[in-house]
Structure 1
């Protein structure tokens, strides 16, 4: 019996020792702190089929989210504009960032004012934000309902769609333009109504040439919409139908919307869809942005389907529209970067579904870039388009080891980015670190959509918090 116990003890000790050795080997080889990725995953085929997210199909009050230029999108036909090249996407992204910085700083340069006055006859305001607006959902509007593709945006409040008749100009969209005269549930909003009178306080223009309320919204990239503020029936799913939703019926619209019929506003303001549907969804919604244009994600209203692994960070008050968050640190691999705590507290931060590339304060970006380049020293470097300054040529390689990047938020929430949130592929020979440097020390940091991909991102209005969970599209 004693010999048997000795044998069991030896086996148990050997097994425990093997476990420690295996873990040590993983740490020593860097497996814990690197993503090993296939080069083919960076260059998806243009003929790839659409892969649908099961969560959108299995969760109540959930809409499919698609990248507007991918095979899953109904906007990819010849009727819509051709897909933009990466330089155009990045240019529009920078325009959005400039608009956010201008709006949050509440300062406009002389150049900004000239640009605004030339883009539209609306009175110049701070400018709202559009940029590339590259994720869309399909929403039913009117009675009988018309299914329309809308770009969704957490940085905007007003939901609007193009409407017939176009009094001046409408851009080309995929679906037929919405005709309010064909809907039995459509009604214009009176100029004397409180919602009309609140437009200017929400960053919009208000005009009353007659008894009906006329709105105007000019966006930071030069896009604009003008039209009638109205009420209409919105059908999100077969069981989620809302009467009397305030929205913009745009009769003069111009901008870079690539076939989408308009915009779905998910901001914090009173006109946003979460605010207008609060009686049912309690200002709670979540989304998962797909890993690539060949996949779909979801936009889900209410608390159904929330992951048990969601970790939250408090919402800070950036503006009445944007969702502010507190970034407190960044790690590359298994090492926390040395960034003074005042760097993020001085600039503040927001999370934004419409900004593509995460913008960081100069000191934080320099630390991230330096640490990343050290761990990528074995790979061939190359130049890339603005705003990128850290790019690589992976030509001829089958696999790469990419250092993991994690963000720490107030409250102890640590978010590890998916590998596609670390890199941005421009072409077959140019793949860049998917972050950019803010030009000014005081400009707000922006946690962009490239870094949010594959996560479940939760917006909890009553709880005053934003949450993150991995594998959100599954």
Structure 2
């Protein structure tokens, strides 16, 4: 009788509760206030590393482990969102303009391999050393040149740390203008009276850096790199926050990834934290995976070949999953994965399908007005908990990226009266989709340039 009764109970549970079990597998029950990606109790937290760096995790010399933090201080929540999303749109537009074929058919004169995209959304920084000078620098997968502000500075923006002083370093060597190193970097060189290899780089938001290329010793965590080519910027302006400069992680030969290929094997990975404050992620250079803490196995997809001279990383998306519903793309859709763009952008036909399906599955909650580029918003102010449909991206070869719940909804108002789907549409079907950093949170994202692949694994991002 006991076995029969247990069997009957199991039958009842299966018949009456199957829908709920199935739903729970494809939904996430989350407290509304946990969706906020900033800690409102820490609005005035320090915007620097000096008092908040944690004890480094050890890593071999063939790899480097660095703390990755966010540098934005949202002193005014509404202004913070407006500034961030408008700047994000400027960066996305800048990227789209660079990806149009005519751009890559123009000769490049006295510029690094590609002009830069808009910078203001680049808010993840690491701490590195140039010679013996420690300084925070912005991380960008969409740039090639690594540069810092240098003395003597003709025009420099205000930064937190002292300027790098080449005259105080015995390992600083400017690249001669008439050298093969200079001519191999630039498409055209006209030295004239110049003795050093000069550069001038303007970004899509009007930010710029000008100076000379030089060789120097840099330290990345416990790893040291000799003879690294970087930009010694003596005239710089724009929206760089507290950072001393920028480190380029793009695919071109001038990037840090390419210059350190012998040491780090062309591999780097990052794990972006889910919150702005009181949390850190990490950037790992090298193929050693012992520091990874991914909860799911890494799954890789092929890097697509991008336009000539482009530093960008392209992938092929084959489907988007909303809850249980998989929206397939028979021919796939080329997308760019970017550390500097915030909000993911899809071609209109795909975005509309994703939005409509999300609305269908999130239908029990009241909608509210759109916010800037985010057109699908809800009023969740009367709810303590909500059931959020799971969201995932599928790539060529079967790799999947399950978006963390912190990357599905964008919290505009702190009282939850305006919470939006954290995705938007491109202007037309000819655009290139972008996977933004908001959707990459709590993911181990691995860029293997030698193997020409990108890997994804779920990971609770930290530096401890």
* TM-score in terms of structure 2 length: 0.86
> How many residues end up aligned between the 2 structures?
437
Q: Which residue matches 1:436?
A: 424
2:39/2:276 contact within 8 Å kept: no
2:153/2:234 contact within 8 Å kept: yes
Equivalent runs, 1:9-408 vs 2, <5 Å: 24-28=18-22, 30-43=23-36, 44-48=38-42, 57=57, 59-60=59-60, 61-69=64-72, 85-107=80-102, 127-131=115-119, 132-142=121-131, 145-167=132-154, 169-201=155-187, 209-238=193-222, 240-294=223-277, 295-304=279-288, 305-306=291-292, 307=294, 309-319=297-307, 320-337=310-327, 339-342=328-331, 344-345=332-333, 348-408=334-394
Alpha-carbon distance, 1:88 to partner: 1.4
2:113/2:186 contact within 8 Å kept: no
Where does the alignment leave 5 or more consecutive residues of structure 2 unmatched? 104-109
Q: Deviations over 1:139-165 (max 9, x none)?
A: 0111xx111101101111110011111
C-alpha change, 1:397 and 1:229, in structure 2 (3 Å) is same
2:111/2:186 contact within 8 Å kept: no
Q: Which residue matches 2:106?
A: none
1:53/1:297 contact within 8 Å kept: no
Q: Distance in 2 between matches of 1:82 and 1:209?
A: 51
Q: Distance in 2 between matches of 1:466 and 1:309?
A: 13
1:199/1:215 contact within 8 Å kept: no
1:315/1:324 contact within 8 Å kept: yes
Q: Distance in 2 between matches of 1:214 and 1:316?
A: 32
C-alpha change, 1:173 and 1:261, in structure 2 (3 Å) is same
Q: Distance in 1 between matches of 2:210 and 2:164?
A: 15
Q: Distance in 2 between matches of 1:39 and 1:331?
A: 22
C-alpha change, 1:226 and 1:207, in structure 2 (3 Å) is farther
2:374/2:422 contact within 8 Å kept: yes
Where does the alignment leave 5 or more consecutive residues of structure 1 unmatched? 1-5, 109-121
C-alpha change, 1:94 and 1:195, in structure 2 (3 Å) is farther
* TM-score in terms of structure 1 length: 0.84
Instruction: Please tell me the root mean square deviation across aligned C-alpha atoms, in Å.
Output: 3.1
C-alpha change, 1:416 and 1:123, in structure 2 (3 Å) is closer
Moved over 4 A (4+): 9-23, 49-56, 81-84, 122-126, 204-209
Alpha-carbon distance, 1:207 to partner: 6.0
Q: Deviations over 1:355-389 (max 9, x none)?
A: 11111000000001111111222222222332111
Helix, strand or coil for the counterpart of 1:369?
helix
Alpha-carbon distance, 1:83 to partner: 11
Q: Distance in 2 between matches of 1:451 and 1:413?
A: 16
Q: Which residue matches 1:112?
A: none
C-alpha change, 1:205 and 1:20, in structure 2 (3 Å) is farther
Of 457-466 and 62-71, the range deviating more from structure 2: 62-71
C-alpha change, 1:181 and 1:15, in structure 2 (3 Å) is farther
Alpha-carbon distance, 1:92 to partner: 1.6
